[in-house]
A and B are shown apart, each in its own frame.
Chain A
Amino acid sequence: MSLLNVNGLELRFHSLDGPVEPLDEVTFNLKKGEVLGLVGETGCGKTITALTTIGLISYSGGEVIKGKVFFEDKSLLEKTERDMQKIRGAKISLISQNPMTSLDPVYRVGYQIVEAIRVHNKISSKEARSLTIKLMRLTGIPLPEKVFYQYPHELSGGMKQRIIIAIALSCKPSLIIADEPTTALDVTIQAQIIHLFTELTKKIQSSFLLITHDLGIVAQMCDSVAIMYAGTIVEKGPVHQIFHFPKHPYTQGLLSCVPRINMKQKILRTIPGIVPHPRSFPSGCRFHPRCEYVTKRCLSEKPQPVKMNDGTLVSCFKYYKK
């Protein structure tokens, strides 16, 4: 059953140099209980896609010009701000990239979790407090009774991210969006948080939309993957198919340009060129200037997703039936 369905999404941002439309018919499906990885490089549109699904895009200066977002079979884009407030935090929650800036520095961290609970549930502050302590224990915070009364600046980055995760889990949401949840953390702390996430996905019934550029984390955590490039989803499918039989030239390039610990060769395969700027996305297939299989057709025509035998969807003319 589909929990979240994003269909043909396109956005517009107004800037001093005129409108920018970074997304091109972004379409994906997230099933109940699934962990979906949305992968891509900087500026490919991962974060704005996530912000749209949680109804925060207008605060970032964007507007939806095309497409639909369905959550639990209801259209989210037609909801009023008041309705969205009831959904945000209760049914869809967000874990953002930087734990240093997503907590309020002047409130004790325990209170910030209590607040999230009491906004959405009618319970006494005493009950909310004991629930908060339980959540803090669940996210691996040592001495929760003490940490409850601490301020964000007294906690380390990893601890702050655990508080954010506790807030995100507080109302048992059916969808958790995690936007680069470990990018700002150290490697050993990152391992702790990813470990926590894999435990949590087993324990709670939520679905995850994990946004990241780290293919290692995707391989460890996700059930399925959508690869994004320059505002388009170029390939999506089950995690095994994407990592073992990548089909789109961009996916192939992305997977082969990461150094691996068991690698013998001295020269890495690279994707030539640079990630284009949203203001000057190429015509036709947006990957064509960097693609080694480019044909005349790629320059002018946009490839539509093709369903492959193994269940992946690929947007590339290479896979069109002759």
Chain B
Amino acid sequence: MNDLLEVRNLVKFFPIMGGIMKRKIGEVKAVNKISFNIKQGETVGLVGESGCGKSTVARLILRLIEPTAGEIFFQKQNILSLSSSEVRKMRRKMQMVFQDPYSTLEPRFTIYESLREPFIIQKENNINLRKEVYRLLKMVGLKPEHSDYYPYELSGGQKQRVAIARAFALNPELVILDEPTSSLDVSVQAQILNLLREMQSKLNLTYLFISHDLSIIKYFCNRIMVMYLGKLVEIASSDELFNNYFHPYTKALIFSIFVPDPDEKLEIVPLQGDVPSPINLPSGCVFHTRCEFADEICEKIEPKLKEINKGHPVACHHPLENK
């Protein structure tokens, strides 16, 4: 199958301005040279803790922010060379569902006005807007009556359904889901996950699913990328990652999952310490400050992503022996 999206050596540093002269005094190294690809029809999960650069990756792919360096190819086209009007055209094929449905809908617009927006922006003039909006609402399990509601009249789950309808309005090819369920209650979360899965099989979509919750990612995705402090540390198919992990950070994430079963008490061996600041990244392997296997090499030399098993690259000097 073809690569729908290819990211090469993507870098994003945010400058920190300060002092009386408001000069650059440092950099937040949010995304630090990452490369990956997503195939047509795949569901890829990107997992990591807050501040590791997950959302920055999403925003870079959509060109909502400009990268410091690197290349992004969407359907073989380098999207970083596009002009702003071309970017707008490209965005109809790439959409995003954000984390917080409470802030992504314009409070002064009715749902109809919000859902009509993509068609107006993309200059779809020859369609019956009302009819299209009703079709979208029906697709995500809402009723035509909801089109005259304002966002405050809807529950969190309903708002997220509207946000999903808006992202899917123009039949995109790639949808980036940035923590789409983390602000929802568990009973509603299941509804939204089912809806997303149904839409994928109906519309033949490719998903990039961003989350900090490994059990949702495992359930939802074919392939998982684990990110730590702006770096990808391990990429593997979901089953492979859980049965055959090599990176100590992946292990720590897997062992942080609390299984809802009182008989399966995990021997939790929590990671020591906190995530270091992305302003002063540790030297060498960024994980060495919290890693129990770290030695001198880890402090000095940065590990590169290397394929250990087929289709399973890991960035670690001392990959875990398997059980």
A255 to B22, CA, bound (A): 53
A 193-215 to B, binary, CB cutoff 8 A, 1 in contact else 0: 01100100000000000000111
A260 near B219 (CB under 8 angstroms)?
A: yes
B69 at the interface (CB under 8 A from A): no
When distances are taken between beta carbons in the complex, the residues of chain A under 8 Å from B261 are 219, 243
B214 at the interface (CB under 8 A from A): yes
Sort chain A's interface into a size bin.
Answer: 35 or more
How far in angstroms is the closest Cβ of chain A from B197?
7
* Assembly CA distance A259 to B260 (angstroms): 10
Across the interface, which residues of B come within 8 angstroms of A198, CB to CB? 268
Q: Does A125 contact B (CB under 8 A)?
A: no
Mark B248-269 against chain A: 1 for CB-CB distance below 8 A, else 0: 0000111111111111111010
Total contacts A to B, CB within 8 angstroms? 130
Evaluate whether A188 and B49 lie within 8 angstroms (CB atoms) in the complex, with A257-B189, A261-B242, A266-B197 already known. Answer: yes
Give A269 to B197 CA distance when docked, in angstroms. 13
Q: Is B92 positioned at the interface, with any CB of A under 8 Å from its CB?
A: no
Cα(A186)–Cα(B47), bound, Å: 12
In-complex Cβ contact of A41 among B187, B263, B271 (8 A): B187
Q: Mark interface residues in B230-245 (1 if CB within 8 Å of A CB, else 0).
A: 0000000000001000
Q: Which of A41, A156, A187, A255 contacts B214 (CB 8 A)?
A: A187
Hey, what's the 0/1 contact readout for B265-290 against A, CB within 8 Å counting as 1? 11010110111000000000000000
A290 to nearest B CB, angstroms?
Answer: 8
Q: How far is the CA of A215 from the CA of B185 in the complex (A)?
A: 12
- Complex Cα distance, B220 from A260, in Å, reads 10
Within 8 A of A (CB), among B177-209: 185-191, 193-194, 197
Q: Give chain A interface residues in 133-165, CB to chain B under 8 Å.
A: 142, 156, 158-159
Q: Using an 8 Å CB-CB cutoff, how does the interface string of A211-225 with B read, 1 for contact, 0 for none? A: 001111111100000
A253 at the interface (CB under 8 A from B): yes
Q: Which residues of B contact A156 (CB under 8 A)?
A: 274-275
Q: Please measure, in the bound complex, the distance between the C-alpha atom of A268 and the C-alpha atom of B198, giving whole angstroms.
A: 11
CA of A272 to CA of B187, assembled, Å? 8
| Inter-chain contacts of B275 with A (CB < 8 A) | 156, 186, 188
Residue B67, interface by CB 8 Å: no
Contact B186 A41 (CB under 8 A): yes
Cα of A267 to Cα of B275 in the assembled complex, Å: 35
Interface status of B122 (Cβ within 8 A of chain A): no
Structural contact, B194 and A268, CB atoms closer than 8 A? yes
A186 CB contacts on chain B under 8 angstroms: 49-50, 212, 275
> Interface digits, A246-262 against B, CB 8 Å rule (1 contact, 0 not)?
00000001110111110
State the CA gap A195–B197 with chains docked (Å). Answer: 34
Q: Is the CB of B214 within 8 A of A259?
A: no
Nearest A-chain residue to B183, judged by Cβ? A42
Is A269 in contact with B268, judged by CB distance below 8 angstroms?
no
Q: Mark B76-98, 1 if CB is under 8 A from A, else 0.
A: 00000000000000000000000
Within 8 Å of chain B (Cβ to Cβ): is A114? no
Minimum Cβ distance to chain A for residue B237 (Å): 14
Minimal beta-carbon separation of B183 from chain A (angstroms): 10
Q: Write out the residue numbers on chain A whose beta carbons fall within 8 Å of the beta carbon of B265.
A: 220
Q: Report whether B197 and A258 are in contact in the complex, using a CB–CB cutoff of 8 Å.
A: no
Q: Which residue of A lies closest to B213 (CB)?
A: A187
Q: Residues on A close to B: CB < 8 A?
A: 41-42, 142, 156, 158-159, 186-192, 194-195, 198, 213-220, 239-240, 243-244, 253-255, 257-261, 263, 266-272, 274-275
Known: A188-B49, A263-B219. 5 other contacts (CB 8 A): A189-B274, A258-B190, A260-B260, A261-B259, A267-B194
